[in-house]
Structure 1
Amino acid sequence: MVDKDITKRPLHGIKVLEIATILAIPSCAVHLSDMGAEVVKVESLTGDPHRYGIGPILPNESKGFTVINRGKRSIALDLGKQEAAEIIEKLVKQSDVVLLSLKLADLQKFGLRYEDLREWNSSLIYLEHAPYGPKGPFSQEGGYDVVAAGMSGLASILARDINGVPSDLTPAVADWATGLASALAVVTALLHRNTTGEGQKVSTSLLQTSLILAGNQIHWFAATDPPAWERVVQELAEGQAKGAGFDEQRSVFKRITNPGSGPETNTYFRNYRASDNFFAVGALSVALQAKFCEVLDVVDPRTPDFDMNRSEDYDTLVQFTRRCEDIVRSRSADFWISKLRQAGVPCGPFNFPHEVFDEEQIVENDFVVNLEHSKLGEYKTYGTAVKMEKTPVFPTISSPGLGEHTAQILGELGYSLDHIDQLIRDEVVTQAE
């Protein structure tokens, strides 16, 4: 049972100001909120665009926005107005952390660069998210996961082929991973501040995160790779000239740089189709592969002189993989999962989204949680990224309505009710009904 005393959470007392939209940095703020930070989300008068994105469920709110903005309060204001700039200054002065995902030009336009905010709060932790990095030809542009995944090569590994064209990556893995990386950066900077008293600027990037996610697939070694890459360049150029589709182009790189890595020869680390459902197997070591073969009553054809570059050896492994597939399809997924687990082979069920919330392993570990939305009632969503024994981590409140807490936050900053009403009439801020 998780201790629900909010004062014991590790970031209790830390104030975070989020001036960000869509996914990567708002997801960072969720992690900080789960750890106890008080998060104020600054939105434009029309709101974070994610409010109008995937799965609309209310005016000004979508399912996508709801699950990525829990644990926050919302203040909506027009950053272009002087009175709004004064509100931001007051908020920055009382904050420990500011999270920003604006374009570099907009940071300068609205006076939100680190150099500006440091004048108001020298101990501030300032996280700047430059999607493609602060230098280079794309440095001034707003960023999206799909662009970073394409530029980094991550999409060339994970995308599906749709009519010869690579798909986008769903979910937006670079966005989500950047949120985690950003939370790590903030917590590390807070630790440094606790030791030295110094604030600092920290930076994260969708492009860098995408490269890290592809780290065990995208690399280059001078001792082995130049000849293979020369062949890749040549054959890709030939394929592109002939109008080859995405899968055909991707197979060129795999065939040359990692022979035998295609699905037709992947026996031990994959999803299988049983008679009734799919299930996953992860047998990477030789010992685990031997156990897998024992359960299926098959013999791995690879001998000490086996060479995937020889066509006859390659074909032999293809036939072996197909035989394993045929055997697996003769019985149910539960049958094979039981047999393989008894033998010590890592495996497990393959769930679609509607099955996740009933998966015993997930439920028993509180990997999903129930939250209460002020207008929608109960909903289920992902749990916290970490569990901590002495300083419990847990979400508290659902996502805010657009400007739901504007008056409350302004009151805490010392604004009178009359002044707040005037700011609303002047369209400097907006307050949800």
Structure 2
Amino acid sequence: MNGPLASLKILDFSTLLPGPFASLLLADMGAEVLRVESPTRADLVRVLPPHVDGVSASHAYLNRNKRSIALDLKKPQAVELVKQLVSEYDIVLEQFRPGVMAKLGLGYEALKAINPKLIYVSITGYGQTGPFKARAGHDINYLALSGVASYTGRQESGPLPLGVQLADIAGGSLHGVMGLLAAVIQRQVSGEGQHVDISMTDCSFSLHGMSGAGFLAAGVEPDMQNQVLNGGSFYDYYRSRDGRWFSVGSLEPQFMQQFCEAIGKPELARMGLSPKPEDQASLKRAIEIEFEKRDFADWCEVFAALDACVEPMLKISEALEHPQLKARGVTVQVPVDAEHSQTQIACPIKFSAGLPQPRHIGAAVGAHTVAVLQALGYSEAQISELKASGAVA
């Protein structure tokens, strides 16, 4: 089983989360991904705790199924090696600030001259153009600057530092994969490659969805807890007597009626349809009072049999044991070596034809350098010479 993307060969220059998560999805779906890593400046994810047998769990996951070649791109011999590889690996994924790859002699125009079919995907914080293009940033900055954080949180406590990296993954990784695959489809038609410019800030701005459309078309500025879906209505989280939480999303009348009957307050159902902020505030307080009367386990039993858009907030350990997630196979065993494996998050995309089995966890820096050079036709003496020069490791 090869996977739907078995025909793609990708040179991955990215580090940290956005690019590696994108290439993880591609590798899981069968693409051949070769990471180009520095032998002297390690990807910081490699040292991110927790570690299992000395290997970062995050690195082992994000870089599974990928090979690694260690190249010092400041050495001309290493740059020439990349140019050789581009004739075969005709997709490049990079995450440097704009202009860095060009200074190394590996920008889009330079590599396009070698292979006109090259697809070159750049994932950056702010994109290849604009006054912020060279500015440093992280997930929290992109969410703040794009306006997403402005209505995500509580009025009394402010915006929330999300537990997941929304701009990095939904912005950089997923949009990066979409752009890359769209360029592949166009290349199949035109025979030409192109440069795909992914700005995590741009992509975060696109996540405004309904609220953004409401502002652009109708001038309604979203704020914290003033929208139906951001805490401005009963659509929210509620705490049980023992300090656990439930999500209540019973927006439709038939769900709201079931929910209100389940908590013993059927008369509250009519308030769910009211657009008045004061009605929603009263409704929320009434729901809070009811939830505080019972423990988490009691409420789980109450709502388990109902189809009312009410679910418990689970910890990761609990989510793994939930029958729905277990049935969907959200984890997979990935080989560490011939005798051992590691439990990791599985590829979430399901194909009727299936996907190839995971091959290995994230590899050591340069684990496949020799094999890649041999495939390019280098002799043992030439490889030894390259290693002595510091160009490869």
TM-score normalized by the length of structure 1: 0.81
Number of residue pairs matched by the alignment: 390
Aligned position for 2:318: 355
Contact map agreement 1:159 1:169 (CA 8 A) in 2: no
* Counterpart residue number, 2:385: 422
Aligned to 1:290: 257
Q: Give structure 1 stretches of 5+ with no counterpart.
A: 233-252
Whole-Å Cα distance in 1 between the matches of residues 148 and 58 of structure 2? 23
* Residues 260 and 308, structure 1, Cα contact 8 Å, conserved in 2: no
Give the drift of 1:352.
1.4
Q: CA deviation at 1:44?
A: 0.7
- Separation of aligned partners in 1, 2:350 and 2:230: 37
Query: How far apart are the structure 1 equivalents of 2:5 and 2:391?
Result: 31
* Counterpart in the other structure of 2:17: 23
| 1:339 has 2:306 as partner | no
Counterpart secondary structure, 1:429: coil
Q: Is the 8 A contact 1:279 1:349 kept in 2?
A: yes
**Aligned residue for 1:73?**
67
Amino acid at match of 2:45: H
Q: Is 1:105 matched up with 2:99?
A: yes
Cα distance change on mapping 1:142 and 1:86 into 2, 3 Å = farther
Shift of 1:363: 1.7
1:306–1:131 Cα change, 3 Å:
closer
Counterpart for residue 47 of structure 2: 52
SS of aligned partner of 1:369: strand
Partner-residue secondary structure (3-state), 2:109: helix
Q: 1:370 to 1:80 in 2, by over 3 A?
A: same
Q: Tell me which moved more, 334-343 or 383-392.
A: 334-343
Q: Which residue of 2 aligns with 1:384?
A: 347
1:79 maps to amino acid: L
In the TM superposition, what is the alpha-carbon distance from 1:341 to its structure 2 partner? 4.5
- Structure 2 vs 1, CA of residues 71 and 261 (structure 1 numbering), >3 Å: closer, same or farther? closer
Counterpart for residue 165 of structure 2: 172
Task: Please list, as runs of the form range in 1=range in 2, the aligned pairs for 1:138-217 lying within 5 A after superposition.
Answer: 138-158=132-152, 168-177=161-170, 178-217=172-211
Contact 2:238 2:288 in 1 (8 A): no
- Are 1:404 and 2:371 counterparts? no
Q: RMSD across aligned C-alpha pairs, in angstroms?
A: 3.0
Distance of 2:84 and 2:78 partners within structure 1: 10
Match of 1:250 in 2: none
Match of 2:351, as an amino acid?
M
Distance 1:214 1:387 in 2: 27
Question: Could you tell me whether the CA contact under 8 Å between 1:281 and 1:347 is conserved in 2?
Answer: yes
- The residue type equivalent to 1:36 in the other structure is G
Q: Report the Cα offset of residue 77 of structure 1.
A: 1.1
- Measured at CA, do residues 221 and 333 of structure 1 come closer, stay the same or move farther in structure 2, by a change above 3 Å? same
Q: Distance in 2 between matches of 1:305 and 1:392?
A: 45
* Distance verdict in 2 for CA 1:303–1:15, change over 3 Å: closer
Q: Match for 1:176: what amino acid?
A: I
Deviation for aligned residue 1:25: 1.0
Q: Give the match's secondary structure for 1:380.
A: strand
Distance 1:394 1:217 in 2: 41
> Are 1:280 and 2:274 matched, yes or no?
no
Q: 1:331 to 1:355 in 2, by over 3 A?
A: same
Inter-partner Cα distance in structure 1 for 2:96 and 2:186: 25
Give how far 1:195 is off.
2.8
- The answer on whether the counterparts of 1:98 and 1:126 sit within 8 Å (CA) in structure 2 is yes
- TM-score for the superposition, normalised by structure 2: 0.88
* Deviation of 1:292 (Å): 1.0
The change in CA–CA distance for 1:160 and 1:395 in structure 2 (over 3 A counts) is farther
Gap change, CA 1:281 and 1:198, over 3 Å in 2: same
Query: Is contact 1:154-1:210 (8 Å) kept?
Result: yes
Partner-residue secondary structure (3-state), 2:285: helix
Amino acid at match of 2:268: D
> What CA distance in whole angstroms lies between the structure 1 residues aligned with 2:273 and 2:27?
56
8 Å CA contact 1:100–1:127 kept in 2: the answer is: yes
Which deviations, in whole Å up to 9, do the C-alpha atoms of 1:115-141 show, x marking residues without a partner? Answer: 111111111221122321222111123
Kept in 2: contact 1:75–1:402 (CA 8 A): yes
- Any idea what SS the aligned residue of 1:216 has? helix
Contact in 1 for aligned 2:11/2:36 (Cα 8 Å): yes
1:167 Cα offset (Å): 5.6
Q: Does 1:300 align with 2:268?
A: yes
- 1-structure distance, mates of 2:47, 2:237: 36
* Offset at residue 406 of structure 1 (A): 1.0
Q: 1:160 to 1:268 in 2, by over 3 A?
A: closer
Q: 1:81 and 1:57 mapped to 2: Cα distance?
A: 34
Question: Does the CA contact (< 8 Å) of 1:17 and 1:98 recur in 2?
Answer: yes
Letter in 1 for 2:167: A
Tell me: CA distance 1:277–1:396, structure 2 relative to 1, closer, same or farther (3 Å).
same
Do structure 1's residue 267 and structure 2's residue 240 form an aligned pair? no
Between 374-383 and 135-144, report the one with greater CA deviation.
Answer: 374-383
Contact 2:20 2:63 in 1 (8 A): yes
Q: Deviations over 1:41-69 (max 9, x none)?
A: 0011132222123434566x422222211
